[in-house]
Structure 1
Amino acid sequence: MVDIGLQQIGLELGSGAVIGGLIGFAAKKVAKIIAILVGVELALFKFLESQGILVVDWERLSAGLVNASSAATDVATGSQPPGIVVSLLSVIPVSAGFTGGFLVGFKKG
């Protein structure tokens, strides 16, 4: 039998929320930096191409992005959830807290 205490669930939920909030805040900051770098790089490529210095195969570049996103979808849909109910129940408080904290941190970041 599983011994579930409200104090333990609260502690796991709270710690998951704090960790999720910090990671969400940091993830948004990192995502903004990456978006700026990618935008500058693409603008530089377009400028150099317009000057005749560089030739960019835009079709090949975009096909790589499409293939990467479809591969990520295949991996996500192919995974099987664990069959043991006890292990699922032990993960829910931390996961719920982490998800809530991550969303709040990402929104505030």
Structure 2
Amino acid sequence: MALSIDPGQLGLQLGSGAVIGALTGFAAKKIAKLVAVLVGVELALFAFLESRGILVVKWDRLTAGLVSAGQDAASSTPPSWAMSILSTLSVSAGFTGGFLLGFRKG
């Protein structure tokens, strides 16, 4: 089975994937920073309200949910996407490189 590869089309897919990945990575980092700040403010507010006796926070139950969610995610097996990954490899490679660059610069 002979593969015919068009270098122009391959370059276009790689380049467009890189641009889209860079924009997505930049936005993802900004959103991640915003979520981290919101979670930090929320936890600080919980601690403050607990110190005033207004709110009772069960910290062990709060962290137990996070630990079990991490264990569930680690034990699940993803479905087989081998053919779809191979067919979109050039766009995926460009997207990954662009995403990492955008995330770093964001």
Task: Kindly state the Cα deviation for residue 71 of structure 1 after the two structures are TM-superposed.
Answer: 2.0
User: Which residue in 2 is equivalent to 1:6?
Assistant: 7
Percent identity reads 64
Corresponding residue pairs, total: 105
> Which residues of structure 1 form unaligned runs of 5+?
none
1:42 aligned to 2:43?
yes
Q: Matches of 1:49 and 1:26 in 2, distance apart?
A: 34
Aligned residue number for residue 33 of structure 2 = 32
Alpha-carbon distance, 1:80 to partner:
4.0
Tell me the alpha carbon deviations over residues 12-67 of structure 1, each in whole angstroms, 9 at most, x when there is no partner: 10000000000000000000000000000000000110111100000010011112
Give the letter aligned to residue 6 of structure 1: P
Please report the TM-score for the alignment, with normalisation by the length of structure 2.
0.90
Task: Please give the TM-score of this superposition, normalised by the length of structure 1.
Answer: 0.88
Runs of 4+ in 1 over 3 A off after TM superposition: 80-84
Equivalent residue for 1:90, pick from 87, 91, 99:
87
Q: What does residue 97 of structure 2 align with?
A: 100
